A and B are shown apart, each in its own frame.
Chain A
Amino acid sequence: MSQSATPAFPKHLLDFRDWNRTQVESLLETAQMMQEVLSRPVKKVPALTGFTVATVFFEPSTRTRLSFELAARRISADVVSFASATSSTTKGETYKDTLRTLDQMGIDAYILRVDAAGVCHQAYAWLQKPIINAGDGWRAHPTQALLDAFTLREKLGSLEGKKVAIVGDILHSRVARSNAELLPMLGASVVACGPATLLPGSLPGASLTTDLRAALAEADAVMVLRLQKERMDKGLLPSLPEYVAGYQITEERLQWAAPRAPLLHPGPMNRDVELEGTLADSPRSLVERQVANGQAVRMAVLYHLLVGKKG
């Protein structure tokens, strides 16, 4: 048997600043192979036997945590879970002390979700272990962007020259930020669209517009973001019906995009708010495919961040 090696990977996945196109494409290729593993009768391989990963979620999440935990188990890592609601952080323990305490238990990698941007970077400085950002504040959610890119490539083939429209609450969206970072690296252009009060001053990697028709024009894919209803209490939106009238993705508005342009949504979804409910279940929707692909992508991330590191 002859064997080739993949390019050297960064030691963490905090965002895509330390990643290049070759590394991302190689990771997506590995995810493709992990899909095959997930299609087998025995959906498990022994690659990470002997490794322990911790999911450390200082912010609630169900789908991301379960997806990571299953991914880790499918690749034979032991998994420990930490949720801040039932931990010493409720007694005032700091992020740093919590993580350093866990580190004494022989953890090999951390999957970290926090409500504050920058903690993942700090965690890497404190622990010098692979850190996977599972969402930090509004800043980044890189594995969501990777699974979005993977799903889009699966549907569209290459992303080279493709236009992706991201619609919704861009201002508060770490998903939008990570996708704006990643998709252009893979050759796509990104336009982010929402009401002026839900747009940031700038979004590196994307152009911004409040004009939904312009955003969707010739778009090869449309990514819809959850409208965080709590934002309305803060005066960012005049009313829900007004948002729906201006920005909901409907069958009719989807005609503005390229024919058969697929529809993505990172979930959880507010049916009939940001997206017409029937569209979510239509053949154009990749929402369920995104969830399925999330596991394969996370298996690939864990594989690349952990394998070879003890050598």
Chain B
Amino acid sequence: MTFKSKLLSNEEVRRALTRIAHEVIEKNKGTEGLCFVGIHTRGISLARRLVDLVEKFEGKRVPMGILDITLYRDDLTEIGLQPKVRETRIPFDLNGKAVVLVDDVLYTGRTARAALDALIDLGRPSRIYLAVLVDRGHRELPIRADFVGKNLPTARSEVVKVKTQEDDGEDAVELWEMEGA
């Protein structure tokens, strides 16, 4: 892959997350019943960041879980490699909660679809929101995000890489071009 450009800097990622945290509080009218669930891998780091921001703004720590959607993917029979099954841990009761599902990039919508199925198997939230740092378009399913850090129209030949301080040592969103595209 070839690097093309940096789409969001460290500061811009921070601002986008701050705005999302405010929007979540606004939409939920506070923190009552609120919880965050991060989708592996970078969705977890971003969800943690949002939980910290909500606590900073509202003075209350809301619960957070982590979700792996591997066993819910709809392409498991088609792919050549076996994806690694990772940890799912929701250490609180989802029933009646307003869940904010957090992922780094919204693309085809298939991950979000799988995450909804996985979440519903774990309990019955009163409401599920979707928060993403980047929406790059090219949806294959009728899914949209409730909270978006940045809308970034892309070509299918391009790859959007989200980096986080926790996983990569820096916060950034980068655009790469696939080889041979």
Contact = CB atoms under 8 A, between A and B. Distances in A.
Interface stretch (B12-20, B69-77, B139-147, B150-158): B69-77
B84 interface: yes
B68 to A, nearest CB: 7
Interface in A137-174: none
Nearest to B104: A1
Interface residues of B, number: 34
Contact of A51 (B69, B77, B88): B77
Contact of A2 (B42, B76, B117, B121): B42
A25 B81 CA distance: 17
B43 interface: yes
Contacts of B81: 5-6, 8, 308, 311
B181 interface: no
Contacts of B39: 1
A36 B72 contact: no
Interface in A39-84: 40-42, 44-48, 50-51, 75
Interface in A3-53: 3-6, 8-9, 26, 29-30, 33-34, 36-37, 40-42, 44-48, 50-51
A307 interface: yes
A303 interface: yes
Contacts of B117: 46
A36 B40 contact: no
Contacts of A310: 77-78
Interface string A288-311: 000000000000100110011111
Contacts of B103: 1
A224 to B, nearest CB: 32
Contact of A30 (B77, B85, B118, B121): B85
B87 interface: yes
Interface centre among A30, A34, A44, A307 (most CB of B within 10 A): A307
A195 B69 CA distance: 51
How would you classify the secondary structure of chain A's contact residues: helix, strand, loop or mixed?
loop
B41 interface: yes
B121 A311 contact: no
A36 to B, nearest CB: 6
Contact of B83 (A6, A29, A37, A300): A6
A41 B84 contact: no
A36 B87 contact: yes
Contacts of B69: 1
B115 to A, nearest CB: 8
B111 A1 contact: yes
B87 to A, nearest CB: 6
B42 A3 contact: no
A311 B84 contact: no
B23 to A, nearest CB: 22
Contact of B41 (A1, A29, A34): A1
A47 B77 CA distance: 8
Enumerate the 4 nearest inter-chain pairs by beta-carbon distance, A residue then B residue, closest first: A5-B81, A45-B71, A311-B80, A42-B121
Interface of A: 1-6, 8-9, 26, 29-30, 33-34, 36-37, 40-42, 44-48, 50-51, 75, 300, 303-304, 307-311
18 contacts: A1-B42, A2-B40, A3-B40, A3-B70, A3-B84, A29-B84, A33-B85, A33-B87, A33-B88, A36-B87, A36-B88, A41-B123, A44-B121, A46-B72, A47-B76, A51-B77, A300-B85, A308-B79
